[in-house]
Amino acid sequence: MVNLSDSGFTPEQTSYLSGFVSGILQGRELPFLGQDGERRFTHEPDQSVYGTPLEDLCKEERIKHEQNGLDCWDAIIANAATNEFPKDGDVFRYKFHGLFFVSPAQESLMLRCRIAGGALTSEQLRGLAGVAEKWGPGHADLTTRANVQIREIMPENAPNVLMALTDMGLTSQGSGADNIRNITASPTTGFDPDELIDVMPYARAMHHYILKNRDLYGLPRKFNISYDSGGRVSVCADTNDIGFYAVKVGENDKGIAPGIYFRMQLCGITGHKQFATDCGVLLTPAETIPVAAALIRVFIENGDRTNRKKARLKYLVDDWGFEKTLEETQKKLAFPMRYFPLEDCAPSLPKSKHGHLGIHQQSDGKHYIGVLTPVGRMSVQQMLALADVADEFGRSEIRLTVWQNLIIPGIPEEKLQAAITAIQATGLDHRNNAITGGLIACTGSRGCKYAAADTKGNAITLGNHLASKMILDQPVNIHLTGCHHSCAQHYIGDIGMMGTRVKVSDGSTVDGYNIVLGGGVDDTQAIAREIWNGVAFEEIPGLVEKLLCTYLAQRENDESFAAF
Ligand code: SF4
């Protein structure tokens, strides 16, 4: 038995270390020290998880309690040796490493990366293309969290895929399950003429803070954080659990130094028809990381672990209110949070709808080109070619957007035409299309077991139909999501669709959608309202065509579709 009594440690430290050593001797998970100095075990000594008795835990909480998902590397290796898929609780634990067993939609694993602020180097894009080519399906998908997913990975290749990611300076840790998802940031930050501050350093700092703090895994449910720089392209920060919005504070009588700060908005969860709301707090950029961490720790300790439907931050805040939530957060901070009226902050400029596409001048006089990647899918050849474009004409960087497409920054005026020619040679285009420029689709039934419809396939069919029938002079956003999980955020689309099975005359079912209209985000914030229920997809291209034609015929002046 190890004796720590003569070690010179304080009684608390001795107690902690005794637990540490006995945990190892019993073959249990390693305990770790929380930010507040408390001991934390995967196997809680008091047989509860943050006060919830074991018998009350929901299924996923029991799995996490049995073994921390971060510690299933042995299972990943063992299953690779026999090329077997994870079983039982390991299906959930694999998601802690960004690996999703997507059976029965596909008998394979899907990799979801983690790309802070959606910023990739050209070398990393090549590396991802290599993963997709060697171990995946020959293509990759851009997601609505400015992230990359690669499908059709077999268990025997999973360790190599994860090691390759690390080798190229990326990770997938915590990109699935009950963890803090990819940190998003305004995609033009750092070179946006309209922005108030470059938020990439803070998005990166948040990303690394999470990676380095083991107690920030295994939340009651998933958690989203986003930084809006005040720039021209929306990052949909108000759809996140925490949305940090840059604002300018001028001279005031409240004792706050003029400068650039962040407002903190809380509890965006549009699948539950709720945007994030300003909670009255004003933070310096550097304060955003400890405040987010403190709030997340409050959520970890107090969120519902018995009912998955009530386990998001929103439900804790609904129960407690902002006041108590912020009081509990304050207790974990070494500095006081600053309160300041929202109306005393200068409003940001409106966002540019579809500003993620086309050619735009940067703050340094160079240009960025937004490239349309239909429903987010890119072949390996396109990925390699775009990496070459970024190297040859830009600054060897690619920015992913939450609109399922990408931006190549840093292109001097004299190289623009050559860059455009090279982009078009890949089969992609930079030109905005008022319909397809905002056509978003989740994975759908070809790759997700929850899907009621082939969202990506249907979106392409719909986009092609509309593009062949009309010229729209105002951008519209059309979002197709396969189920109520709302990965494609149908409630923020001008036209949103949620998949459902529709019965036809012979008794079988076909792809169909419930259709909502009138959604928006940021300065056009609105939750779309359901207009049609259970429409078979084959009727939808004609229906949407009629809808848009009615808009074109009856709008007043250049009234937007959202206003119409
Ligand atoms: Fe799958 Fe549903 Fe998410 Fe679409 S919205 S990817 S169907 S979970």
Give pLDDT, residue 564: 74
By the 8 A CB rule, do 370 and 356 touch? yes
Answer yes or no: is pLDDT of 32 > 50. no
pLDDT, tens digit, 9 for 90 and up, residues 480-490: 999 999 999 99
Give pLDDT, residue 155: 97
Minimum-distance ligand 1 atom for the alpha carbon of 452: 7
Q: Rounded to whole angstroms, how far apart are CA atoms 341 and 425?
A: 51
By the 8 A CB rule, do 145 and 240 touch? no
pLDDT, tens digit, 9 for 90 and up, residues 404-444: 999 999 999 999 999 999 999 999 999 988 998 999 999 99
Pocket test for ligand 1, best of 102, 239, 272, 481 (most atoms within 8 A of CB): 481
Q: Report residue 396 as tokens.
A: 């060897």
Answer yes or no: is pLDDT of 35 > 90. no
Measured in angstroms, how far is the CA atom of residue 557 from the centroid of ligand 1? 38
Answer yes or no: is pLDDT of 46 > 80. no
Measured in angstroms, how far is the CA atom of residue 66 from the centroid of ligand 1? 27
Sheet of strand 109-112: strand arrangement: 99-101, 109-112, 148-153, 139-142, 377-379
Mean pLDDT of 253-276: 96
Give pLDDT, residue 559: 74
Model confidence band, residue 293 (pLDDT cutoffs 50, 70, 90): very high
pLDDT, tens digit, 9 for 90 and up, residues 297-335: 999 999 999 999 999 999 999 999 999 999 999 999 999
Query: Per DSSP, what are the bridge partners of residue 399?
Result: 119, 407
Give pLDDT, residue 561: 78
Give pLDDT, residue 429: 94
Q: Rounded to whole angstroms, how far apart are CA atoms 451 and 440?
A: 15
Q: How many residues does the chain have?
A: 564
Measured in angstroms, how far is the CA atom of residue 379 from the centroid of ligand 1? 22
Asked if ipTM goes beyond 0.95, one says: yes
Poorest-pLDDT segment among 291-300, 469-478, 548-557? 548-557
Model confidence band, residue 28 (pLDDT cutoffs 50, 70, 90): very low
What 3-state DSSP class applies to 296? helix
Minimum-distance ligand 1 atom for the alpha carbon of 499: 7
Pocket test for ligand 1, best of 149, 377, 487 (most atoms within 8 A of CB): 487
By the 8 A CB rule, do 466 and 545 touch? yes
Indicate the average pLDDT of the chain. 91
Query: Per DSSP, what are the bridge partners of residue 281?
Result: 339
Three-state secondary structure readout of 270-304: HHHCECCEEEEEEECHHHHHHHHHHHHHHHHHHCC
Model confidence band, residue 45 (pLDDT cutoffs 50, 70, 90): low
Give pLDDT, residue 432: 80
Share of the chain above pLDDT 70, in %: 92
Residue 539 amino acid letter: E
Q: Rounded to whole angstroms, how far apart are CA atoms 113 and 171?
A: 6
| Among protein residues, the one whose CA lies closest to atom 4 of ligand 1 | 482
Give pLDDT, residue 236: 97
For residues 483-516, one letter each, b for 16 or more C-beta atoms within 10 angstroms of the residue's C-beta and e for the rest, the string is beebbbbbbbbbbbbbbbebeeeeeeeebbbbbb
pLDDT, tens digit, 9 for 90 and up, residues 123-137: 999 999 999 999 999
Answer yes or no: is pLDDT of 92 > 50. yes
Model confidence band, residue 348 (pLDDT cutoffs 50, 70, 90): confident
Answer yes or no: is pLDDT of 30 > 60. no
Pocket test for ligand 1, best of 448, 492, 501 (most atoms within 8 A of CB): 448
Torsion of CA 118, 121, 125, 128, to 10 degrees: -80
Pocket test for ligand 1, best of 147, 443, 456, 479 (most atoms within 8 A of CB): 443
The DSSP letter of residue 180 is: B
* CB-based pocket (< 6 A), ligand 1: 442-444, 448, 450-451, 481-483, 485-487
Measured in angstroms, how far is the CA atom of residue 106 from the centroid of ligand 1? 14
| Among protein residues, the one whose CA lies closest to atom 2 of ligand 1 | 483
Answer yes or no: is pLDDT of 211 > 90. yes
Q: Where are the beta strands (DSSP E) in 25-173?
A: 32-33, 39-40, 48-49, 52-53, 99-101, 109-112, 119-121, 139-142, 148-153
The DSSP letter of residue 274 is: B
Give pLDDT, residue 185: 98
Mean pLDDT of 265-273: 95
The DSSP letter of residue 521 is: -
